[in-house]
């Protein structure tokens, strides 16, 4: 029994040692403290501290939007792009920072909507919210 | 022997494979103009020696739904997951991830990809004509180039603000249109919406929206 415990302990120690070695010296090891932002992404904190007026754009489904959304946000998704684009333009102002969000870090809807706003309307001040709705709700709780 | 056991323990996660074998993990779908949805089948079979039950199938987008005949599959049994992607007004390369979770304790998570490229039916230079505060009130143009495979007619143009003057030319029949918009000479802040109606697709003709604004 003693032998078994010793061997198990040894295996765990070797695994721990190898893990620490990789974490310390591997050139591609992730930095757990640094948040990697994709191109055009903005952190919630940065957005809220911005001096520019914000226009929140919800790129999720209509059902999810109607359930709940960031206060003041407007719905704009690719399910009904033309109709919703008209509503977006009613609210848009040239000095606004447009921030698009979808469900979470994994969804692509906010990226697609932001790209179309840049391509089709030539808007420059367009960002996507890092972490999306999931980040917003976790910050509120 | 001890070293062999050690290597086996450390490498064991790499040796695990699921019982469910999918014929294709990535499924590329074809799209033709006018399609409202795209349907693709992901075929699988239970290659193991015990039954496997699907716990959940979720998609990265609300636009993609899935269906499965039943939840539990016996050893050797085949089945299929049907994925239905609703196009809506999407354009470009669409990549929808479908996450499948089973009760297989060895390997329970599969990620399937449904990919479809939706070509733009029209290339439009801009949807927003915007005259800044200090900008001269010269006319601006909207250019619409329809896809060469799909000649389309503009059947109607509606302007919400009559103080903007429009002039539309069909440069190439069914292919290219140029709409010139004159904001007038009065230097006052105003805006308007322009709706351009086409004859395609026949059952629900596409309407393009443009916004005009003088600051």
A63 shares its domain with A24: no
Domain shared by A22 and A63, yes or no: no
The answer to whether residue A74 is domain-embedded is yes
Which residues on chain B are in Cβ contact (under 8 Å) with A78? 63, 88-91
Element (H, E) at B110: strand B109-118
Which positions 120-139 of B are in contact with A (Cβ < 8 Å)? 124, 126-128, 130, 132
Any domain includes A35: no
Burial class (CB in 10 A: 0-12, 13-18, 19+), B104: buried
Q: Residue A18: which domain range?
A: 1-30
**Residues A20 and A65 both lie in one domain:** no
> Do A45 and A26 belong together in one domain?
no
CA gap A50, B70 in Å, rounded: 51
Which among B39, B37, B117 is positioned nearest to B80, based on CA atoms? B39
Question: Best of B124, B127, B212 to disrupt the A interface by mutation (most A CBs within 10 Å)?
Answer: B127
- Same structural domain, A66 and A120: yes
Model pTM greater than 0.90?
no
> Are B130 and A83 an interchain contact pair (Cβ–Cβ within 8 Å)?
no
Domain CATH number, residue A97: 3.40.250.10
Return the residue of A nearest to B11 by Cα: A15
Asked whether residue A36 is domain-assigned, the answer is: no
How many separate domains does chain A show?
A: 2
Same domain, A14 and A61: no
Residue B201, preceding peptide bond in cis (omega within 30° of 0): yes
pLDDT tens for each residue of chain B, 215 residues long: 565 555 555 544 444 456 899 999 999 988 988 899 999 999 999 999 999 999 999 988 889 999 999 999 999 999 999 999 999 999 988 999 999 999 998 889 999 999 999 999 999 999 999 999 889 999 999 999 999 988 999 999 999 999 999 999 999 999 999 999 999 988 889 999 999 999 998 888 999 999 999 99
CA distance B200 to chain A (A): 15
**Per the structure block, which two tokens stand in for A60?**
């999720």
Write the ipTM: 0.80
> Strand A41-42 and strand A126-129: pairing?
parallel
What residues of chain B lie within 8 A of the CB of A112, using their CB? Answer: 90, 92
What's the rounded Cα separation, in Å, for the pair B147 and B119?
8
């Amino acid at each position: 029994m003693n032998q078994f415990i010793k061997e198990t302990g040894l295996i765990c120690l070797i695994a721990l040692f190898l893990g620490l070695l990789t974490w310390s010296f591997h050139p591609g090891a992730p930095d757990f403290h640094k948040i990697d932002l994709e191109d055009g992404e903005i952190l919630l904190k940065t957005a809220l501290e911005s001096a520019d007026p914000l226009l929140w754009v919800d790129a999720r489904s209509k059902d999810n939007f109607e359930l709940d959304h960031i206060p003041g946000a407007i719905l704009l998704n690719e399910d009904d792009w033309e109709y919703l684009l008209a509503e977006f333009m009613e609210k848009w102002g040239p000095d606004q920072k447009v921030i698009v969000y979808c469900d979470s870090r994994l969804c692509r809807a906010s990226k697609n909507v932001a790209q179309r706003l840049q391509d089709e309307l030539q808007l420059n001040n367009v960002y996507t919210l890092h972490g999306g709705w999931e980040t917003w709700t976790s910050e509120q709780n | 022997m001890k070293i062999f056991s050690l290597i086996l323990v450390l490498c064991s996660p790499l040796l695990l494979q699921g019982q469910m074998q999918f014929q294709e993990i990535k499924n590329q779908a074809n799209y033709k103009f006018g399609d409202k949805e795209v349907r693709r089948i992901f075929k699988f079979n239970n290659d193991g020696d015990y039954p496997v039950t699907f716990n959940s199938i979720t998609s990265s987008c609300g636009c993609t739904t899935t269906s499965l005949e039943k939840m539990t599959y016996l050893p050797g049994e085949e089945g299929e997951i049907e994925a239905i992607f609703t196009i809506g007004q999407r354009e470009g390369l669409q990549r929808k991830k479908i996450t499948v979770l089973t009760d297989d304790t060895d390997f329970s998570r599969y990620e399937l990809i449904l990919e479809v490229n939706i070509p733009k039916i029209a290339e439009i230079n801009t949807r927003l004509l915007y005259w800044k505060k200090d900008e001269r009130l010269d006319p601006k143009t909207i250019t619409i180039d329809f896809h060469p495979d799909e000649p389309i007619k503009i059947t109607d143009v509606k302007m919400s603000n009559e103080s903007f003057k429009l002039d539309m030319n069909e440069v190439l029949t069914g292919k290219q249109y140029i709409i010139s918009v004159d904001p007038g000479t009065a230097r006052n802040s105003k805006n308007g919406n322009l709706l351009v109606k086409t004859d395609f697709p026949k059952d629900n003709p596409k309407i393009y929206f443009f916004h005009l604004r003088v600051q």
